[in-house]
Structure 1
Amino acid sequence: MIYDRRATVQKVLIVTLGLNLFVMALKAIVGTTTGSLSLQADALHSVTDSANNILGLVTTRLSSPKPDREHPYGHQKFEAVGALGIAAFLGIACFEILQGAIERIMHGGKPVTITVPELSILLLVLGVNIFVAFYERRVGKRVASPILIADANHTMSDIWVTISVIGGLLGVWLGYQWLDVALAFPVAVLVFMSGWSVIKENLPWLVDEMAIKPEVIHAIALSVPGVINCHDIASRGLVGRQAFIEMHLIVDANDVEKAHRITEEVESKLEQSFHPVRIIIHVEPPAYESSQISY
């Protein structure tokens, strides 16, 4: 069974794109007026938020789960590629932040100034970021969308960055100018860690890592009457999003109709456990009985 959740994903990305552009503009304005390096770096981070949303809109439009002649397994890996694109943007942001901090240390710069209204604007920015992160994560988990979950993780890093920047600017307000540059380095680390988590979550899908333990598939298959054993079990994809299972099934059947009925019951049980899932079963007669699980 195939589920197409692209309309929901695109709606969420459009909403968050508008909010991220609003946040980016506020950070850029306040960063420029205060001369804060950490806030300008945070604004750069928000540029990647907006770019990620645009990238997500493009990739989800391409990532149809429905197969066609050229893509018989669907197009869903486009979405995972888009998530890795987010990781690339995060890497660029990390480099830019570190470069700016090092230049400030080596060559100095104008002192940072901050006012109460500007701090209030940053608190508004923080509230918007929190809303975006939890909104994307909730919908992403409900529809099993890696692009939304990856973007929510990115926005979560933005929340911690903004909290750090606000703390640093409070320190600057109290006279500790060095805090602005010092906080640029942990900001870069948070950005890097966010990108690394996105890579770890999406590589298994792209490299066809095992999705379901063969022992689990074996146990479900053997629970169906008429199944003697199964072997050459393979799986890939992501459970809850789209999984693929292949196996050789040894059945106690002497005619095609009975063998077909048994395999359909096995497919039904696997579908109940791992839907949506596409299953290919090669049927073998009782003479092929084997005590091994192979994969």
Structure 2
Amino acid sequence: MSTHQHSASSADATKVTLIGSVADLLLGLLKIMTGIVGHSAALVADGIHSLSDLATDAVVLISIRLGGKAADQNHPFGHRRIETLGTVLLGLMLLAVALGLLWQNSLTLLQGQGNTVPTWPVLLVAALSWLVKEGLYWYTIKAARAMGSDLLSANAWHSRSDAFSSIVVLMGAGGAMLGIWWLDAVAALLVAVLIGLISVQLLKRSLAELIDTAIPEQQQQSYRQLILQTDGIHAINALRSRTSGGKVLLELKLEVAPRLSASEAHWLGHQVKQQLKQQFAEIGDILVHINSPASSLPEQQASSSLRPAMQQAMETLLQSYQLEATDAEFFLYCQQPVRIDILLSPKAQTKLAEIGTKQLQHQLQQIWPQSKQLHIHFYQEKSD
């Protein structure tokens, strides 16, 4: 995503969150005041929940602002993990609110029936809260899906938890008004449990992201199927995945034909990256390694570099025919057995016209005995 797109997304996310913040502030104050005057512990708890949303909104705003910054020298992979840390903080704040409400309303139930019951304004405010918070949920979740933001999506579900808790308050307050005194306190406990469950889900997902947990196997399989449809990709040697700021990051090791040029192999890797990003919007970045078919070389060959030895032997052979090192180019394929293709220039081909390929190989073996273990082929460079 370009810097301009990041800025536009951050501005949209900020607008959505600020609108939600104003609604949370007004609703929270209204519910707490109505709950106190109307004798509803559940509505007071719901009001505290709404005001706690202000703190989570602040976390969202800060995380979006910092997490949307482009990569720099000190943060070459960008700042998306700040959004993940923001989600962890949001989950911890919600969990603290849930535990506080559970403690307070459990004491209310243990102490027995109070002298007052909720009044009808409690029902009106709870109904209003449900309408506003459900509307905020749909407004926020639409923006979250458009931007691919887990943090904004979490805030949307936080709004929906308010909507659900308002329904619980309606039922609890209504039951208490009908004479079931404990129903209001039970409703407050249900609100607390709901908040706690949401906080645990947020923490589980964000902590999994922080420790680089792989994406689900079914999702990986979808990626594998698309990769193997690319002509020239023989196999997937490895696929590693993790998430950062709601985006999937992939590291691929792809096997191609053993004698492809480096540029063609690189082009195939680029094709895979393009197709994956076009097909799956959740993918943020892909690192591709290109592998030739796996092989095992003899220990004495694997422990030393063949190219310098080959270079020196070829220079000695060419000098014996008054040729230069530039009159031959060789391509080394590390397979079992090792294959070396030697490309002769037109000048070398002219001087060596009367010498057969087998004679050249024999002379090379005299200079460099190790070449007996290799498959060496001489061929002519085509002149213009």
> TM-score normalized by structure 2?
0.68
Pair 1:257 & 2:263 matched: yes
Is the 1:205–1:237 Cα contact (8 Å) retained in structure 2? Answer: yes
Alignment match, 2:148: 144
In 2, Cα distance between equivalents of 1:212 and 1:270: 17
Which consecutive unaligned segments of at least 5 residues does structure 1 have?
A: 290-295
In 2, Cα distance between equivalents of 1:125 and 1:208: 38
Pair 1:244 & 2:265 matched: no
Displacement after TM superposition at 1:114 (Å): 3.7
Cα deviation code 1:177-230 (max 9, x no counterpart)? 222223222222212112122223333322212236455444333322222323
- Note the 1:196-215 alignment, pairs <5 A: 196-211=200-215, 213=217, 214-215=220-221
SS in structure 1 opposite 2:235? strand
Pair 1:224 & 2:219 matched: no
In 2, Cα distance between equivalents of 1:167 and 1:212: 39
Alignment match, 1:292: none
SS in structure 2 opposite 1:227? coil
1:288 to 1:229, Cα distance in 2 relative to 1, 3 A: farther
Instruction: Give the paired residue count.
Output: 288
Equivalent residue for 1:279, pick from 276, 283, 286: 286
Structure with the larger RCO, 1 or 2 (CA within 8 Å, 6+ apart): 1
Alignment match, 1:87: 91
Equivalent residue for 2:274, pick from 257, 268, 273: 268
> TM-score normalized by structure 1?
0.87
- Note the 1:32-51 alignment, pairs <5 A: 32-51=36-55
Tell me which structure has the larger Cα radius of gyration. Answer: 2
Displacement after TM superposition at 1:61 (Å): 0.9
Question: What amino acid sits opposite 1:223 in the alignment?
Answer: Q
1:288 to 1:271, Cα distance in 2 relative to 1, 3 A: farther
Cα deviation code 1:33-71 (max 9, x no counterpart)? 123222211111112111111111111111126321222
Is the 1:227–1:249 Cα contact (8 Å) retained in structure 2? Answer: yes
In 2, Cα distance between equivalents of 1:94 and 1:287: 55
State which drifts further: 280-289 or 122-131.
280-289
- Note the 1:52-201 alignment, pairs <5 A: 52-64=56-68, 66-107=70-111, 111-201=115-205
Is the 1:55–1:82 Cα contact (8 Å) retained in structure 2? Answer: yes
SS in structure 2 opposite 1:121? helix
SS in structure 2 opposite 1:66? coil
1:65 to 1:221, Cα distance in 2 relative to 1, 3 A: farther
1:227 to 1:98, Cα distance in 2 relative to 1, 3 A: closer
Sequence identity (%): 27
1:173 to 1:234, Cα distance in 2 relative to 1, 3 A: same
In 1, Cα distance between equivalents of 2:59 and 2:249: 27
Which consecutive unaligned segments of at least 5 residues does structure 2 have?
A: 297-384
1:117 to 1:227, Cα distance in 2 relative to 1, 3 A: closer
Question: What amino acid sits opposite 1:49 in the alignment?
Answer: D
Is the 1:112–1:172 Cα contact (8 Å) retained in structure 2? Answer: no
Displacement after TM superposition at 1:231 (Å): 0.9
Displacement after TM superposition at 1:277 (Å): 3.1
